[in-house]
């Protein structure tokens, strides 16, 4: 991932509604969700949601696919993986053991008792 791409993705996620949309789509998995379902789940007006979905799509974090009259939106986990990898590329100054707490959180979704989160 190039620096400019990372900046676009981070900017897209740096807004509350867009972050909520992305997290909801991550939970939805491969099935994704229609704009109407996202709007209902997050209680966001459709025209406002459209703007947010467009920003997430431009950043590469969300993909869309037409299914008849509906459009299904899905989180692009590949782009998120590239973003996280970009951010952690030089993690811990070449001392991978220092990154172990980050990997633990990523793998389990929780911190152990002796780790600062």
Q: Is residue 115 part of a domain?
A: no
Range of 73's domain?
A: 3-79
The pLDDT tens digits along the chain (117 residues) read 789 999 999 999 999 999 999 999 999 999 999 999 999 999 999 999 999 999 999 999 999 999 888 899 999 999 998 998 888 776 667 676 777 776 666 666 555 544 444
**CATH number of the domain that residue 11 is part of:** 1.10.10.10
- Neighbour count for residue 78 (Cβ, 10 Å): 11
- Neighbour count for residue 69 (Cβ, 10 Å): 6
- Name the domain count of the chain: 1
- Return all residues near 107 (Cβ < 8 A) that are at least 6 apart: none
Q: Is residue 52 part of a domain?
A: yes
Rounded to two decimals, the pTM is 0.80
């Amino acid at each position: 991932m190039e620096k400019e791409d990372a900046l676009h993705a981070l900017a897209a996620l740096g807004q509350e509604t867009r972050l909520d949309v992305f997290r909801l789509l991550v939970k939805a998995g491969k099935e994704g969700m229609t704009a109407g379902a996202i709007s209902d789940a997050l209680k966001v007006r459709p025209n406002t949601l459209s703007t947010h979905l467009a920003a997430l799509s431009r950043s590469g974090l969300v993909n869309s696919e037409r299914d008849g009259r509906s459009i299904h939106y899905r989180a692009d986990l590949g782009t998120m993986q590239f973003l996280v990898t970009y951010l952690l590329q030089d993690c811990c100054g070449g001392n991978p053991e220092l990154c172990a707490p980050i990997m633990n959180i990523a793998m389990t979704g929780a911190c152990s008792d002796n780790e600062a989160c």
